[in-house]
């Protein structure tokens, strides 16, 4: 190569991709450093690399030579970077944190994680959507996975739950069918990340046990505003076993400290375009800002007597126990205070298994849970490539792991010493570990009596009562959203019989809902579907099931989008910013250009978003702080008009300076201003605007 050309392609002539001192492999001898102070790059064998830009060639440009082991290793590794994505819950985001017990359950369990108050148990939590692939958008209408791995002193405990307390099916035998029906249709490979298609509603309308969960997924719970504002549930009934071997039943609940909040459907659709990573970015940013997401852990504990007298079978995962029947006892808190260092190593490689329990926690005979206990272990072999996935740091327990299990792909922690079997007579020094009859995990000695048969218990047969209970527990606004969601989803179904069959189920749940959906689909309400158990139980509404009946009443953790222009009032902007930050929220600046604006006192405020890239769907509320001239100019720009139009349509609070009125006029809204549009004039009005923001949305707006 000519000297000039060679120089151009040499690394020293390019910006360095790594920060000086970036950590490489810490093991072995100290690495050499380059002349300019960087750690020298090596191959995976530790051999220093001279040229990472050009392949070894014979002549110029010359054929490439197989001698170049650095190229071969680099390309070989790249070619194998991908692993199979999870068959469900492929798209997820996770963070590290801790669990701190505040109320001991010693009376019920011997598990140290539930009896040692004040101790911080490290954990790793992964949130996910279910149906979409790894690259699907965050705001698909979908159940959210809520999986927590507690690294306890007695081994790993995985609580692999969802943000909905019930499930679609009662028996794990149906899981592959459920998931096949929900994912993209197999011939065409679409739709991606949504249930709005024939196969899903075909399966669902032929599976009445799904009706309760259908009510939940058609509610706004499946379009959460943030992973931080969701509840989580262990779903199944588990067992707690105390030191005396006595068992109680338990259901686990996660309650978000910042309260629950969802977006509205039209907003979700637009967020998916504006920022498909909306939820993961939000979690990352909150942790980076030190605003650590927090949940309370609650339990519903009950005994056999309650289980026998309860109107439903507590082993049926399509049923919940209303909080009014068994109150949720708060026993601790989870704080997510550390983001991952590497998405693949941690979020992608983490392997949750429902079978991971610790002494003092056990399983009930829920046939869904029992099936899960097989599936989760099995799936990791395919995904992570072998039986040693527990050796990967994110999956390894933080307490000692001593087994005679050995070898296999990528074995990192093989037993040392002569004995790899037991019994052996090599003694405590060389004989390796032994089982511990005093402290080892003991399964609850549940008496079993019955015939071996493939059947569904009669006690699982009522499919509509709790579906109705959920529906009647919602506010009118929430009910309207459920009706809209059903109409939307079923309108994407091509086969009329499926649409009609689904509405026939709704008749059993609520006649009014069935009529609304039928009208939305343009059909007559059909006859009720014949129920497996014809007698409906008339259950009371449970307020705990509604999000809007339990509002957070705070703007903390939320974001105000301020649309600013050059020469806008610095005094007003600073007053809004201070008040929002005082309320625990954040302010993002949206401006005509990303360079930001110069306010009337000369201060330069950098923008977080240019108006075209920062639509109002990204914010919980908006404020327009434009000058008259800028408002005039913006009134001609579609993204600026959409900013305001969408904020209004999504029931958002809109603060505005009088000079911003031109933008309202441009979208024909000047005569439709309501109590959710608040003029930002004097300091008092700014204060009242910010205190109104705690209501999150102005639901009284026309058409809500």
Q: Contact with ligand HDD (CB under 6 A): which of 108, 150, 229, 352?
A: 352
Please write down the long-range contacts of 305-310, taking CB distance under 8 Å and 24 or more positions apart: 306/249, 307/237, 307/249
Does 641 engage in binding with ligand HDD (CB under 6 A)?
Answer: no
Q: Tell me, by CB under 6 A, how many residues bind ligand HDD.
A: 27
CB nearer to ligand HDD: give 148 or 693: 148
Q: What is the C-alpha to C-alpha distance for residues 616 and 263, in angstroms, rounded to an integer?
A: 12
86 among annotated binding-site residues: yes
Does 128 engage in binding with ligand HDD (CB under 6 A)?
Answer: yes
Q: Which stretch binds ligand HDD (CB under 6 A): 80-88, 107-115, 419-427, 625-633?
A: 80-88
126 among annotated binding-site residues: yes
User: From the CB of 236, what's the least distance to ligand HDD, in Å?
Assistant: 6
Q: In 3D, which of 544, 548, 561, 469 has the Cα closest to residue 508?
A: 469
Residues in contact with ligand HDD, shown as a per-residue x/- string from 379 to 408 under the rule CB under 6 A: x-----------------------------
Helices 265-274 and 638-649 pack at an angle, to 10 degrees, of: 150
Q: Contact with ligand HDD (CB under 6 A): which of 333, 339, 372, 577?
A: 372
228 among annotated binding-site residues: no
> CB nearest ligand HDD: which residue?
145
- DSSP string spanning 609-636? EETTT--GGGSSEEEEE--HHHHHHHTT
CA angle 700, 544, 179 (to 5 degrees): 95
CB nearer to ligand HDD: give 317 or 560: 317
Please write down the long-range contacts of 323-328, taking CB distance under 8 Å and 24 or more positions apart: 323/542, 323/544, 324/540, 324/542, 324/543, 324/544, 326/251, 326/300, 326/301, 326/302, 327/300, 328/253, 328/255, 328/298, 328/299, 328/300
User: From the CB of 167, what's the least distance to ligand HDD, in Å?
Assistant: 4
Q: What is the C-alpha to C-alpha distance for residues 372 and 587, in angstroms, rounded to an integer?
A: 43
User: From the CB of 368, what's the least distance to ligand HDD, in Å?
Assistant: 5
Show the 3-state SS of 19-73: CCCCCCCCCCCCCCECCCCCECCECCCCCECCCCCCCCECCCCCCECCCCHHHHH
Q: Indicate the burial class of 288 (C-beta count within 10 angstroms; 0-12, 13-18, 19 or more).
A: exposed
Instruction: Enumerate residues 207-236 that contact ligand HDD by CB under 6 A.
Output: 235-236
CB nearer to ligand HDD: give 9 or 374: 374
Provide the 8-state DSSP code for 529.
Answer: P
Instruction: Enumerate residues 281-340 that contact ligand HDD by CB under 6 A.
Output: 317
Q: Which stretch binds ligand HDD (CB under 6 A): 2-10, 72-80, 81-89, 401-409?
A: 81-89
72 among annotated binding-site residues: no
Does 87 engage in binding with ligand HDD (CB under 6 A)?
Answer: yes
User: From the CB of 355, what's the least distance to ligand HDD, in Å?
Assistant: 11
CA 69 to chain centre: 42
Q: What is the C-alpha to C-alpha distance for residues 49 and 11, in angstroms, rounded to an integer?
A: 11
Does 131 engage in binding with ligand HDD (CB under 6 A)?
Answer: no
Q: What is the C-alpha to C-alpha distance for residues 148 and 191, in angstroms, rounded to an integer?
A: 30
What contacts 87, CB < 8 A, 6 or more positions away? 179, 379
CB nearer to ligand HDD: give 87 or 399: 87
User: From the CB of 100, what's the least distance to ligand HDD, in Å?
Assistant: 22
Q: Contact with ligand HDD (CB under 6 A): which of 70, 88, 210, 487?
A: 88
User: From the CB of 173, what's the least distance to ligand HDD, in Å?
Assistant: 8
Does 147 engage in binding with ligand HDD (CB under 6 A)?
Answer: yes
Are 362 and 249 in contact, with CB atoms under 8 Å apart?
no
Are 156 and 202 in contact, with CB atoms under 8 Å apart?
no
User: From the CB of 428, what's the least distance to ligand HDD, in Å?
Assistant: 37
User: From the CB of 128, what's the least distance to ligand HDD, in Å?
Assistant: 5
CB nearer to ligand HDD: give 128 or 194: 128
Q: Which stretch binds ligand HDD (CB under 6 A): 336-344, 365-373, 438-446, 606-614?
A: 365-373
Q: Contact with ligand HDD (CB under 6 A): which of 172, 241, 482, 529?
A: 172
Catalytic residues: 89, 162
What six digits make up the tokens of 315?
A: 């082993």
CB nearer to ligand HDD: give 147 or 560: 147
Does 696 engage in binding with ligand HDD (CB under 6 A)?
Answer: no
Are 214 and 204 in contact, with CB atoms under 8 Å apart?
yes
Q: Contact with ligand HDD (CB under 6 A): which of 99, 124, 157, 167?
A: 167
3-state secondary structure of 364: coil
CB nearer to ligand HDD: give 117 or 375: 375
Does 254 engage in binding with ligand HDD (CB under 6 A)?
Answer: no
CB nearer to ligand HDD: give 175 or 306: 175
CB nearer to ligand HDD: give 377 or 523: 377
User: From the CB of 224, what's the least distance to ligand HDD, in Å?
Assistant: 14
Q: In what order do the strands lie in the sheet with 609-610?
A: 609-610, 586-591, 559-564, 621-625, 654-656, 677-679
- DSSP string spanning 175-200? HHHHHHHHS--TTT----S---SHHH
Phi, psi (rounded to 5 degrees) for 640: -70, -40
Are 385 and 391 in contact, with CB atoms under 8 Å apart?
no
651 among annotated binding-site residues: no
Q: In 3D, which of 188, 333, 264 has the Cα closest to residue 478?
A: 264
What contacts 246, CB < 8 A, 6 or more positions away? none
CA angle 82, 86, 91 (to 5 degrees): 90
Q: What is the C-alpha to C-alpha distance for residues 465 and 472, in angstroms, rounded to an integer?
A: 11
533 among annotated binding-site residues: no
Are 563 and 607 in contact, with CB atoms under 8 Å apart?
no
CB nearer to ligand HDD: give 85 or 567: 85
Q: Which stretch binds ligand HDD (CB under 6 A): 17-25, 335-343, 349-357, 386-394?
A: 349-357
User: From the CB of 144, what's the least distance to ligand HDD, in Å?
Assistant: 8
Binding site residues, ligand HDD, CB under 6 A: 86-89, 92, 126, 128, 145, 147, 160-162, 167, 172, 175, 235-236, 317, 350-352, 368, 371-372, 375-376, 379
Feature table: binding site for heme: 86, 126, 175, 372, 376, 383
């Amino acid at each position: 190569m000519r000297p000039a050309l060679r120089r151009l392609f040499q690394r020293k002539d390019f910006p360095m991709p790594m920060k000086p001192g970036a950590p490489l492999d810490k093991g072995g001898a100290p690495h050499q450093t380059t002349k300019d102070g960087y750690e020298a790059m090596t191959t995976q064998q530790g051999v220093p690399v001279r040229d990472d830009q050009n392949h070894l060639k014979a002549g110029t440009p010359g054929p490439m030579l197989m001698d170049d082991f650095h190229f071969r290793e680099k390309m070989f590794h790249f070619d194998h970077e991908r692993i199979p994505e999870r068959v469900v819950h492929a798209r997820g985001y996770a963070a590290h944190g801790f669990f701190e017990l505040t109320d001991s359950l010693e009376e019920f369990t011997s598990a140290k994680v539930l009896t040692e108050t004040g101790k911080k148990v490290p954990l790793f939590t992964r949130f996910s959507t279910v149906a979409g692939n790894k690259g699907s958008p965050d705001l698909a209408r979908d159940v959210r996975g809520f999986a927590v791995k507690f690294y306890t002193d007695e081994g790993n405990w995985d609580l692999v739950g969802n943000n909905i307390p019930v499930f679609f099916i009662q028996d794990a035998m149906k899981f592959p069918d459920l998931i096949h029906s929900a994912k993209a249709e197999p011939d065409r490979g679409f739709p991606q990340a949504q249930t709005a298609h024939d196969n899903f509603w075909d399966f669902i309308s032929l599976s009445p046990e799904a009706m309760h969960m259908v009510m939940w997924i058609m509610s706004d719970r499946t379009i959460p505003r943030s992973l931080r504002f969701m509840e989580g549930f262990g779903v199944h009934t588990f067992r707690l076993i105390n030191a005396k071997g006595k068992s109680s039943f338990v259901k686990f609940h996660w309650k978000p400290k910042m309260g629950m909040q969802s977006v509205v459907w039209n907003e979700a659709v637009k967020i998916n375009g504006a920022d498909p990573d909306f939820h993961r970015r939000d979690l990352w940013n909150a942790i980076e800002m030190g605003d650590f997401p927090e949940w309370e852990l609650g339990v519903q504990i009950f005994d056999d007597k309650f289980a026998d007298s309860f109107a439903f079978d507590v082993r049926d995962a399509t049923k919940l126990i209303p909080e009014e029947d068994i109150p949720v006892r708060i026993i601790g808190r989870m704080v997510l205070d550390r983001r991952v260092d590497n998405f693949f190593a941690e979020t992608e490689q983490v392997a949750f298994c429902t079978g991971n329990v610790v002494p003092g926690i056990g399983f009930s005979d829920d046939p869904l849970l029992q099936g899960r206990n097989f599936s989760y272990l099995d799936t990791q072999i395919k995904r992570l490539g072998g039986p040693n996935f527990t050796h990967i740091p994110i999956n390894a327990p933080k307490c000692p792991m001593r087994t005679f299990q050995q070898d296999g792909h990528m074995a990192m922690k093989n037993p040392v010493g002569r004995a790899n079997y037991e019994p052996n007579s090599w003694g405590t020094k060389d004989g390796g570990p032994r089982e511990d009859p005093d402290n080892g995990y003991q399964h609850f000695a549940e008496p079993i009596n019955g015939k071996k048969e493939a059947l569904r218990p009669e006690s699982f047969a009522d499919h509509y009562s709790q579906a109705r209970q959920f529906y009647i527990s919602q506010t009118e606004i929430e009910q309207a959203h459920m009706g809209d969601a059903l109409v939307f989803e079923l309108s994407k179904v091509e086969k009329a019989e499926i649409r009609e069959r689904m509405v026939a189920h709704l008749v059993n749940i609520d006649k009014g809902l069935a009529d609304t959906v039928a009208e939305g689909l343009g059909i007559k309400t059909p006859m009720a579907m014949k129920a497996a158990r014809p007698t409906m139980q008339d259950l009371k509404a449970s307020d705990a099931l509604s999000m809007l009946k339990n509002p957070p009443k705070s703007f903390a953790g939320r974001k105000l989008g301020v649309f600013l222009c050059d020469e806008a009032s610095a005094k007003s902007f600073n007053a809004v910013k201070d008040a929002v930050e005082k309320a625990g929220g954040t302010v993002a600046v949206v401006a005509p250009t990303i360079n930001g604006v110069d306010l009337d006192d000369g201060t330069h405020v950098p923008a977080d978003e240019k108006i075209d890239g920062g639509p109002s769907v990204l914010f919980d509320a908006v404020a327009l702080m434009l000058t008259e001239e800028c408002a005039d100019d913006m009134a001609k720009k579609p993204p600026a008009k959409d900013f305001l139009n969408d904020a209004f349509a999504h029931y958002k609070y809109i603060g505005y300076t009088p000079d911003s009125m031109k933008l309202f006029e441009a979208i024909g809204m000047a005569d439709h201003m309501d109590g959710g549009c608040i003029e930002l004039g004097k300091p008092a009005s700014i204060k009242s605007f910010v205190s109104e923001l705690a209501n999150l949305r102005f639901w009284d707006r026309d058409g809500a």
